[in-house]
């Protein structure tokens, strides 16, 4: 699943300064939270006056004003994640996607809390003057586009204290990444991961099952996915056997690929819980890093076109992956992609911290409000 990364600053106007305060996308060196691309709220286009006689439109009920949610969405050790933090990101999704989006958002917020607790434990701090300068710069930038800092915070249901806490957390993370991400560390990552930085892409379908934490349901989901894989492989083989004896290797390969793709797409439409099910599980093209969580991307890039993975477990559930196309990239030199390497390093550092902190953390997720 594509990562949902929500940063408070990036959600405010998508300013360049705000983007610098947020974290990076996904990536295994020592341990920061990721940066989210700015999200621009949809804008309703103006209605052009008609040249035909005017018709009085029916009365449209006024939208109810948004009410700041109350309550606690999750507790991470002793740190509480308020429901409003989930709502800020969740309100941008259509109703049909909110259940899955909520899980992703909560997962991200829990991880952010774990990272902040880790940084506090190793005493990573930032100076108040640096925080003040960044916020002052943001206020000036907002004023330059005729927007008010306080009103923008209100629109995001953020208090000044909450926004400042977000900024401090991001600055601590960036400081930690700078400390860990030396040129030597970045070069080592670059040399060990050539397909990550050369622009290679794969296109894949997947079937997602979400059994939760129940071990019995997890085993059932894994068994179901392996059963689907077995049936698809058997039917694809039958399609090849049904060809005339004169069929050449290319015709056999095409027949097998066609049947594999058709059946996999049909099973995705029937069984997958991902919104991509409507497209037969098609996720389109994605790079090795930055778009998918690491276990998913690693498994997909290990496949040839029309090969299926074994069951792949991620934070979102269990996946069966079918790669349908590959686009080979062009080799790059380290200096050409150094910032991309730094971003991947930060992503993998984040994953390493979470892997260290999560097993011993006490995490309680509250039911979604009605």
Decide: 1 and 292 in contact? Cβ < 8 Å. yes
Q: Residue 324, class by beta-carbon neighbours within 10 Å (0-12 exposed, 13-18 middle, 19+ buried)?
A: buried
In angstroms, the CA 59 to CA 72 distance is 38
State what percent of residues in the chain have pLDDT above 70: 82
DSSP 95: G
Q: Which residues contact 259 (CB under 8 A, 6 or more apart)?
A: 235, 236, 238, 239
Q: Which tokens hold the place of 127?
A: 């100076």
Q: For the segment 194-216, what is each residue's pLDDT rounded down to a tens digit?
A: 778 888 999 999 999 999 878 99
Q: For the segment 319-353, what is each residue's pLDDT rounded down to a tens digit?
A: 999 999 999 888 889 999 999 899 889 989 998 99
Q: Where does CATH 3.10.50.40 sit in the chain?
A: 199-327
Q: For the segment 142-191, what is each residue's pLDDT rounded down to a tens digit?
A: 999 999 999 999 989 999 999 999 999 999 999 999 999 999 999 999 99
Question: Could you tell me which CATH class the domain 199-327 is placed in?
Answer: alpha beta
Kindly tell me if the per-residue pLDDT of 13 is higher than 90: no
Decide: 179 and 55 in contact? Cβ < 8 Å. no
Give the DSSP letter string of 253-318. Answer: HHHHHHHHHHHHHHHHHHH--SGGGGGTTEEEEEESSSSB-HHHHHHHHTPPTT-B---EEETTEE
The packing angle between helices 249-271 and 215-241, to 10°, is 150
In angstroms, the CA 289 to CA 292 distance is 7
How far, in Å, are 24, 40, 180, 252, 277 from residue 304 at the CA level? 29, 37, 35, 16, 22
Helix (H) or strand (E) holding 364: strand 363-365
Question: Predicted confidence band at 3 (pLDDT cuts at 50, 70, 90)?
Answer: very low
Q: Where does CATH 1.10.4030 sit in the chain?
A: 8-40+69-192+345-365
Q: For the segment 246-269, what is each residue's pLDDT rounded down to a tens digit?
A: 999 999 999 999 999 999 999 999
Decide: 355 and 32 in contact? Cβ < 8 Å. no
Second CATH level (architecture) for the domain 8-40+69-192+345-365: Orthogonal Bundle (1.10)
Q: Mean pLDDT across the chain, nearest whole number?
A: 84
Question: Predicted confidence band at 242 (pLDDT cuts at 50, 70, 90)?
Answer: very high
The predicted structure's pLDDT at residue 64: 65
């Amino acid at each position: 699943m594509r990562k949902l990364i929500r940063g408070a600053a990036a959600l405010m106007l998508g300013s360049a300064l705000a983007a610098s305060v947020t974290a990076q996308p996904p990536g295994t060196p020592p341990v920061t939270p990721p940066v989210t691309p700015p999200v621009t709220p949809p804008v309703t286009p103006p209605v052009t006056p008609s040249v035909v006689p005017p018709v009085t439109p029916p009365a449209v009920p006024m939208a109810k004003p948004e009410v700041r949610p109350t309550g606690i969405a999750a507790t991470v050790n002793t740190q509480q994640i308020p429901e409003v933090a989930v709502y800020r990101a969740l309100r941008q999704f259509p109703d049909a996607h909110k259940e899955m989006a909520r899980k992703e958002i909560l997962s991200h917020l829990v991880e952010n809390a774990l990272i902040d607790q880790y940084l506090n434990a190793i005493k990573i701090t930032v100076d108040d003057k640096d925080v003040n300068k960044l916020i002052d710069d943001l206020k000036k930038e907002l004023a330059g586009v005729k927007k008010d800092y306080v009103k923008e915070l209100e629109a995001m249901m953020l208090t000044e204290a909450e926004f400042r806490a977000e900024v401090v957390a991001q600055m601590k993370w960036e400081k930690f990444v700078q400390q860990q991400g030396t040129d030597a560390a970045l070069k080592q990552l670059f040399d060990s991961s050539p397909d990550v930085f050369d622009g290679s892409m794969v296109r894949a379908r997947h079937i997602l099952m979400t059994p939760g934490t129940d071990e019995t349901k997890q085993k059932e989901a894994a068994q179901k996915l392996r059963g689907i894989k077995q049936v698809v492989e058997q039917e694809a083989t039958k399609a090849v056997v049904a060809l005339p004896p004169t069929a050449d290797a290319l015709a056999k390969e095409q027949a097998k690929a066609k049947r594999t793709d058709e059946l996999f797409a049909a099973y995705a439409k029937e069984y997958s819980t991902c919104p991509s099910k409507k497209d037969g599980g098609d996720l389109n093209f994605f790079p090795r890093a930055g778009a998918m969580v690491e276990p998913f991307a690693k498994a997909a890039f290990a496949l040839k076109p029309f090969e299926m993975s074994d069951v792949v477990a991620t934070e979102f559930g269990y996946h069966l992956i079918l790669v349908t196309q590959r686009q080979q990239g062009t080799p790059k030199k380290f200096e050409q992609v150094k910032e991309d390497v730094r971003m991947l390093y930060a992503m993998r550092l984040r994953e390493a911290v979470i892997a260290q902190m999560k097993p011993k953390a006490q995490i309680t997720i509250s039911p979604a409000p009605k």
